[in-house]
Chain A
Amino acid sequence: MLRFFLKRLTTIIPTVILASMIIFALQQLLPGDPAIAISGEEKDPEVIAFIREKYHLNDPLPVRYAYWIGGVLQGDMGESIRLQQPVAQLIVSKFPVTLQLAVMAMAIALLIGVPLGVLSAVYNGKAMDYAANILALWGLSTPNFWLGIMLILLFSVQLGWLPASGYVPPTENLWENLRAMILPAFVLGNSIAAVMMRHTRAAMLQVLSSDYVRTARAKGLSPRAVIIRHCLRNASVPVITLGALEFGALLSGALLTEQVFSIPGFGKLMVDAVFNRDYAVVQGVVLCTATTYILLNLLADLAYFLVNPKLRRS
């Protein structure tokens, strides 16, 4: 297992370097000059020249890449042209927000998706199965921004139970933090739960028809033990893969949900940065999410080892 881990780690480093180059190059393909985009309404030529000079915008592409990657290696991801704050500081302040949202959304998705998937497979073709499938269809087909606004209208405007939007750091007030995060987490979790449910159901159906499950039942094991210990464990490999991918996507920022609930996370940071041609921020955020994505995939691979002893031996 350690060898596998080390082998995977050696492929990660070139992947991250390649990703950093692609991020940098793609960014330059965007039409629009950052100096003009941020020089204000007046477009004073002196201001434009100053911005170009300050952020090395006059230098050739490879030189700018060298400046950037050199800085990144020393922990300096540059400065946001618009907000005039270090990019690393922005990322450090936004990441916990997005991480919390992602963890809560994932927890909600797992709590809804996996049990529903199991029930739907166990009661295949019965009312329970249909009900679960209808719920999944609902989850897949409701757009996040619509569901978000509907939930705000219900819980905030009509009932007045939860804040309509905003964010309170958990260190400041944990209770207020949870109140602000529950709706967005539910909105995000809702659509992922639907996908989870479908995957769990398919995997469970496959496992339920296998020989060892019949044997386990014949041995007189309780249905609960058969389902949880024998079936679910084996059916969880595809669910873990999916979970890692979805979690990675959540960590790169859930733009629409963050917009609707005004949560200052990665998605919002990123989109604002793209529109303002704030190169350093876009590069920093994408590099950060790409690295997280790659690491999560590594963790998913490791998780297979934990749930499937066969892989450990091979």
Chain B
Amino acid sequence: MLMRALWTPWKRTLASLALATGLAAALAPAAGAQTLRFGLMEDPDALDPTLARTFSGRMVFAALCDKLVDIDAKLNIVPQLATSWAWSDDQKSLTLKIRDGVLFQDGEKLDAEAVKFNLERHLKMQGSQRRGEISAIDTVEVVDPLTVKINLKTPFAPLLAQFTDRAGMMVSPKAAQALGEKFATAPVCAGPFKFVERVAQDRIVVEAFDKYWNKDNIFLKRIEFKVIPDTTVRLTNLRSGQLDLLERLAPTDLPQVQGDSKLKVGNAYELGYQTLLINLSKDNPLAKNAKVREALELSLDREALNQVVYNGEFLPGNQWVSPKNPNYVAEFPIPKRDVAKAKALLKEAGVTGPIPVNFTIFSDNLSQQSAQVIQAMAKEAGFDLKIQATDFGTALNLADSGGYDLMLYNWSGRPDPDGNTYNFLASKAPLNYPRYNSEKADAALIAERQTNDPAARKAAWKDLAANVLTDRPLIYLFHRKLLWAYSTKLTGFGDYPDGLVRFTGLKLN
């Protein structure tokens, strides 16, 4: 009797819950046609091309902001807002022709004045993240309404490649002046989609801009970027139809996606790399003796590491660009694992006993697995790596202050190899975490910056490789594969090596 007395109201609740769930199923609305729901791994930072720092922010910019130039799938620089360009003979000025008839999303005209405003904003705005990328610019001249001439302080060959990313994104001068440093709250650019709303850590919504210069090739009406950090959860959302596309699929989830007939995979090798940083300012055998560093490299089997930790999906490498990149220096191939030679080198260097090395890594799963494999391999040659996993912020601080011996680090990469080398290898460059100081390497880095001649630049990369790959301030390990998973309803998806999605031509069927 008591049972029944207590059960009766409870039963009613349960029944109504069941009813509610059933109704929910019946009423679940289908997502609007041509609304792309895109799962991002992290919440972008400020949506202002001058201030933005994160990779996920670039995903959103790909919809919001067109750039002066773009790269194609083969890394060639192709026109976007600028239709053509020419370098002066002394390599100290670049003249750009601007596309006619382009409007910003607030209806303002994009002309040479607007380009000048934007480049000066990148250079002068407080907290600008772009200043370093284009600091070679001295002045920007408006030649005529559709022509700008950029004068440089010194020749700087990578400039055009910088314009394929945020430094080349143009924002509406009117909106930028009106909003000042709050521009990111309502960004106005000249891209195919205009900003609608943003809910921090949840979603960013954009919708098609009806006066976009290339609107005939834009088929999506709306894009909802949803922030879902966990890779498993992101995939679950795709499988349940809550998302149409997701970025950074985990390599271990690849078989699951390939086994699902409703899903497809897109991939491209990243422009960046995973590397070991070696702190050369430390007073230990690894820092003091290049033979010890060579021994460490020879103890590693990059292919085995790739197979064990990354399902064989990544690409082993030994340089700042991947072996598939046209700028790879073929004279310096990936060294094969050779434990006997590694031991002999250590003997030559006069180092005995296990060499203790503190090995700092980021505390994510894949880094930890990689570190354990590296630790086991290095042990066979005579290294005793002590793994210290720490969060990203702390690791960066250690890298910056020199408080590490060896660190597993990754760089997202830039289309021009200069973006993968100069800041890490030039003496006193801001990212020179290994404290590498080589006159020859510096000379090679200056040489590659000073010319646009492909042959001369190739020679400079070879010089740089000859020094860096023997001094070993970094031991490059491999290049990650960027993986996207998407619904088969989505067509027109192309794989780009910068890891960004091009929304032009994308269609939901």
Contacts and interface: CB of A to CB of B under 8 A. Distances in A.
Contacts of B227: 262, 264
A156 B397 contact: no
B284 interface: no
A51 B133 contact: no
A275 interface: yes
Given A47-B129, A156-B240, A175-B27, A122 B2 contact: yes
A259 B229 contact: yes
Nearest to A173: B29
A245 B21 CA distance: 30
Given A224-B5, A262-B228, A84 B394 contact: no
A228 B100 CA distance: 79
A40 interface: yes
B391 interface: yes
Interface in B401-417: 411-412
B237 interface: yes
A160 B240 contact: yes
Nearest to A145: B230
A191 B1 CA distance: 29
Interface residues of B, number: 61
A165 B242 CA distance: 8
Given A36-B396, A115-B6, A162-B24, A42 B200 contact: no
A260 B2 contact: no
Nearest to B37: A166
Most chain B CB atoms below 10 A, which of A41, A51, A119, A166: A41
Contacts of A153: 236
A32 B396 contact: yes
Interface in B1-43: 1-3, 5-6, 10, 13, 20-22, 24-25, 27-29, 43
A83 B45 contact: yes
B72 interface: no
B236 A41 contact: no
A258 B477 CA distance: 35
A108 to B, nearest CB: 10
A164 B240 contact: yes
B233 A262 contact: yes
A193 to B, nearest CB: 13
Contact of B431 (A43, A159, A164): A43
B307 interface: no
Contacts of B45: 38, 82-84
A165 B233 contact: yes
Given A42-B129, A54-B127, A157 B239 contact: yes
Interface string A164-197: 1111000000011011001000000000000000
A246 B116 CA distance: 58
A44 B129 contact: yes
Given A166-B226, A175-B27, A178-B20, A31 B202 contact: no
Given A166-B203, A264-B227, A276-B393, 20 more contacts: A33-B400, A37-B392, A40-B129, A42-B431, A84-B181, A111-B10, A115-B6, A152-B236, A153-B236, A156-B236, A160-B28, A161-B24, A163-B28, A164-B236, A166-B226, A175-B24, A182-B21, A224-B5, A262-B202, A275-B391
7 contacts: A33-B393, A36-B393, A43-B431, A122-B2, A160-B241, A259-B229, A262-B237
